[in-house]
A and B are shown apart, each in its own frame.
Chain A
Amino acid sequence: MKINPAMEAFLAQNQGTNTNNNDVKNNFGNILKDEINKVNELQVRSDEANQQLIAGESEDMHSVLLATEEARLALEMAVQIRNKLIESYQEINRMQL
């Protein structure tokens, strides 16, 4: 039984471009960093929108709230992914040697 068919298909698809696991562009650390930067960007945008609202420069309130909600959802998504990562780390840590 194939344990992870999706992963194999993914690897087969990318075979031509990056067979090397240490490929600088696509290694796990960089992907994580990129995504965290995106989450941070949303936080910054929400912060700016709030600043503008307080300073009275904002056109409308709902776009501020929308930016805040987007930032919140992105952060919660990141937290969920972190939980999954830690969970799998702990699972490996508990492994009997």
Chain B
Amino acid sequence: MKAFQTMRISSSGLSAERLRMDTISSNIANATTTRTEEGGPYRRKIAVFQESLKNEMNIKFNKMQRVSNGVRAVGVIEDDSELQRVFDPNHPDANEEGYVLMPNINILNEMVDMIAATRAYEANVTAMNASKSMLLKTLEIGKG
């Protein structure tokens, strides 16, 4: 139903922010991970989003047009920035010089990203509630 389109768009935003939270949680959990399946230390993950459009019939002009369908995730990419080198000769993954390659994760950055994701999630919930109260208000037409 077209009346619920706004709420569905907000819902796609909620899904997107959940994915962002997943990647941030993964980054925080793996902040000191030195081994991965591909070999080498963990690399920071970033969720990438794309505007989602869909075809819809415009009754007024009788033609198809692209309208917003919210946001969708295109995937999770790896941050290629430089890995940290930490001197720790006792570490099992240390090289001959005693240096260990650590993930390129800065916990502070991740915390800030997490706050941004939380706030963005809240914003989407607010938008969804606003559209819901608009629909409820519509039902009051002719009540008084």
Contact = CB atoms under 8 A, between A and B. Distances in A.
Interface stretch (B3-11, B50-58, B59-67, B74-82): B3-11
Most-contacted residue by chain B among A62, A73, A76, A77 (CB, 10 A): A62
Contact of A62 (B4, B14, B135): B14
B136 interface: yes
A65 to B, nearest CB: 9
Contacts of B14: 60, 62
Interface string B96-137: 000000000000000000000000000000001000100110
Interface residues of B, number: 15
Interface of B: 1, 3-4, 7-8, 11, 14-15, 18, 128, 132, 135-136, 139, 142
25 contacts: A38-B1, A42-B1, A60-B14, A60-B15, A60-B18, A62-B11, A62-B14, A62-B15, A63-B11, A63-B15, A66-B7, A66-B8, A66-B11, A66-B128, A69-B7, A69-B132, A70-B1, A70-B4, A73-B4, A73-B132, A74-B1, A76-B139, A77-B139, A80-B139, A84-B142
Interface of A: 38, 42, 60, 62-63, 66, 69-70, 73-74, 76-77, 80, 84
